[in-house]
Structure 1
Amino acid sequence: MVSPLTTLTATLLLIGAGPVWAASSQDLTVKGVITPSACAPVVSGGGTVDFGKVSVRDLNADTYTDLPRETMLLSVRCEGPTIFTLNTIDNRAGTAASHFSWHGLGMTPNDEKVGDAGLGLYSPVADGVPVRTITSRDGGVTWIPSVMLSHSLLTAVADGDGLAPIAIQALDAEIRLITHIAPASNLTLTDEVPIDGHATVQVNYL
């Protein structure tokens, strides 16, 4: 951070050191947010779900195949009471086979979408008190009750019947994973094809 600003300052000084010329200008804006307390998310098992080898004969030919449902534990710990939201980053963006808000599982060598996985937050407890999850698709302007955890919306927790995010210090919840494999008739499966989903859980401060 220091070097670019130092270089820019030196350049401006050199430009200003000569004769006065008519010149165009461009503002430089430095932005950021200083948060009152930082929050760190942790997913059990290192956030890894391994289905092992899935046999082609166990896949449905013309409909999606559901793999066994998995549950992980999510904990978020903050340095102090903080209003925050959660969302995901789909690191296999563009490969979801059926749901735009789910997470892709990669592509076959023939550029066919392998499947997708949906995430939901269940049984949330904030600071030792049961709460409910709410989601927003418009950046936090409006909220509805929902368990979804996705790259397409924001997820927060609210009191009782409330529809506004609350400040909390500790959140514990279950992440339940629903995984679909695309119809086998849509996939080239003459060789092994990896199930290659990868997503990042992200904390955002309001």
Structure 2
Amino acid sequence: MNTFPRFLAVLLLLTSIQPVVAASFVDVTVTGRLTPDACHVSLSDEGTVDHGKIPAHTLSATEFTVLPSRMLELSVQCARPMLFALVGIDNRSESSLAPGFFYGLGRNIHAHDERLGSVALSYRDPVGDAQPMQVLASSNNGETWTPEPNAYPKSYIGFAPPGDRQPDFIRQLTTRLRIDTSINFSRYLTLDQEVPLDGSIVLDLRYL
């Protein structure tokens, strides 16, 4: 008599009957994200300055042609009083005629060696948390500060009550951003076709 199937059935029955053991522990998972208190920066007119069409014959051949100054309203809104600075980053730095002082206006798309001009930025009439402020600038990443309204490329610009020499904690800041644009000497430019001005600047808010 073949007892192998019966033996296999008993073996399967024995292996399928296991004692039920209740778990003596349970996992707890904790998740989330720690986020910094943030500040939001905004500019009026979506940060755009449009000088329209500038006839070539109105440009000076022997000096820079200074276009009318434009003003944008800048606002910084923070979740709580924060210590911050604004840094101008020039996306057209290779076209700047004085990179330490002015932002580039781009190159002539018809003659790439020709630099079109310069843009200067400065802050006017800042108000922080309903109090008049002064503009401070730092050329060494915030180690030292001096009163200075001009926002040179890569300079840190902070805001403080008059007389202070360090930026202050601010929750709400409003200020006017002045934009001064100058066109290069026309004798250095090829202007037999329409040439678009192409300045591009990022205002980067950095926490101190």
**What is the TM-score when the length of structure 2 is the normalising length?**
0.80
Contact 2:121 2:178 in 1 (8 A): yes
> What SS class does the counterpart of residue 163 from structure 1 fall into?
coil
- CA–CA separation in structure 1 for the residues paired with 2:86 and 2:35: 16
Structure 2: runs of 5 or more not aligned: 1-33
Counterpart code for 1:123: D
Distance 2:139 2:35 in 1: 23
Q: How large is the Cα RMSD of the aligned pairs?
A: 1.3
Give 1:148's aligned residue: 150
Matches within 5 A, 1:1-206: 36-98=36-98, 100-108=100-108, 109-110=110-111, 111-206=113-208
What is the aligned-residue identity percentage?
A: 35
Task: Give how far 1:191 is off.
Answer: 1.0
In structure 1, what residue type is equivalent to 2:154? S
Aligned length: 173
How far apart in 2 are the matches of 1:97 and 1:137? 19
Please give the per-residue CA displacement for 1:105-141, whole angstroms capped at 9, x wherever unaligned: 1101322100011000000000010010100001111
Task: Judge conservation of contact 1:101–1:152 (CA < 8 Å) in 2.
Answer: no
Moved over 6 A (4+): none
Change in CA separation of 1:71 and 1:151 when aligned onto 2, cut-off 3 Å: same
Larger radius of gyration: 2
Contact 2:131 2:161 in 1 (8 A): no
